[in-house]
Amino acid sequence: MFRRRETKEYVNEQNAILWGTFDGFTWIRCEGKGSFLQSPALKDCAQSAEKDGQKHFVIDLEACTGMDSTFMGTLAGLSTRLRRTGGGVQIATPGAKNRQSLEDLGLDHLLEIEPLGAGWRGKVDEIRSSLKPYAPKAAQAMGERARHVFDAHRDLASTSQANAERFRNVLDVLKKQVPPDSQADPK
């Protein structure tokens, strides 16, 4: 008989979220795989900074070895939320593979990828040396994790008709794992 193994740790030495606030923006660095396991820490970190009034974020993908759809949906949700308040998300050093993943889902229209006039240009090494690890408040319970994955895919599907079609089956499966009363878009 096989048992489902619970993942107690979302962020570890191989997969870390590092962060800091600098000159009007919050810098969040993803180290390791940007996945459904790491994206709750990314979301939690961003929401914590938003509560402190931050509206401009830079997501540093230099050390990110790849991204799954949940991680990219988390980025889409963050950008959509921030745009409503006059903020936004910029992507720093995504590398060819991550850039292609973002572009394949049309997220280059929602996120500013490597903007040439960004205020952080020329300060990247200084910023990276000042980052500190982000420790999530607590590991997510199974229901919370399902809700997070559902929300991320709903946000991703809402970015374009092509993504709505691409993620329709995923959302149908996830709806069965999330209570109906929590499926409404809270935005």
Q: What is the pLDDT along the chain (187 residues), one digit of tens a residue?
A: 222 333 333 444 457 899 999 988 999 999 999 999 899 999 999 999 999 999 999 999 999 999 999 999 999 999 999 999 999 999 999 999 999 999 999 999 999 999 999 999 999 999 999 999 998 766 666 678 889 999 999 999 999 999 999 999 999 999 888 866 555 554 4
The pair phi, psi for residue 101, each rounded to 5°, is: -60, -45
pLDDT score of 184: 55
Q: Output Rg (C-alpha) for the chain, integer angstroms.
A: 16
pLDDT score of 141: 65
**Is residue 181 assigned to a domain?**
no
**Is residue 102 assigned to a domain?**
yes
Q: What are the C-alpha distances in Å from 50 to residues 4, 53, 118, 127, 167?
A: 35, 5, 20, 19, 28
Give the range of the structural domain holding residue 128, as residue numbers without chain letter: 16-136
**Is residue 169 assigned to a domain?**
no
**Is residue 76 assigned to a domain?**
yes
- CATH code for position 125: 3.30.750.24
The pair phi, psi for residue 17, each rounded to 5°, is: -110, 120
pLDDT score of 146: 86
**Is residue 47 assigned to a domain?**
yes
Task: Please give the angle made by the CA atoms of 117, 129 and 73, to the nearest 5 degrees.
Answer: 60
Number of separate domains in the chain: 1
**Is residue 92 assigned to a domain?**
yes
User: How far is residue 151 CA from its own chain's centroid?
Assistant: 11
**Is residue 143 assigned to a domain?**
no
CA distance linking residue 23 with residue 119, whole number of Å: 9
CA distance linking residue 35 with residue 22, whole number of Å: 26
